[in-house]
Amino acid sequence: MIEFKRGESFTFDLQITDESDEPMVLTGYELSSQLRDQYNQLITDLELTEIDSTTVALEFLEEDVYGDTNDWPLGPCFMDIDINDNGRVVSTDTILVSIVKDYTRPSGD
């Protein structure tokens, strides 16, 4: 589970492992991911950037559905990563993202 405070930058690094818990080499695969709320409503498409052959960075694209993370719904949300190898698609395990209130906010919020 990932705890994320609404209003902050949604970005983190992730290493994907294979069935034997070894880091999976991701070079050459097409990767995609979405974050959805508990009602399966799309919050955002995530941009995945390869850091090295076994690690990707996931980032929220601010021009997406919600504009910025200040408007994201509180509560449980879910994501996975699709790994596309020339039409053969497999998904990672589902990742729970708990979106919680951030108590330190700009004046007026």
Full residue range of the structural domain in which residue 64 is found: 2-100
Residue with tokens 């508990």: 38
Query: pTM score, two decimals?
Result: 0.84
Task: Classify residue 106: in a domain, yes or no.
Answer: no
Task: Classify residue 107: in a domain, yes or no.
Answer: no
For 40-91, how does the pLDDT look when each residue is reduced to its tens digit (9 = 90+)? Answer: 999 989 989 888 998 998 888 655 545 678 889 999 999 999 999 999 999 9
Q: Across residues 29-42, what is the average pLDDT?
A: 94
For residue 90, what is the domain's CATH number?
Answer: 2.60.40.10
Task: Classify residue 71: in a domain, yes or no.
Answer: yes
Distance of alpha carbon 43 from alpha carbon 64, whole angstroms: 8
Residue 96 pLDDT greater than 70, yes or no: yes
- Of the two residues 29 and 108, the one the predictor is more confident about is 29
Task: Classify residue 105: in a domain, yes or no.
Answer: no
Per the structure, the count of domains in the chain is 1
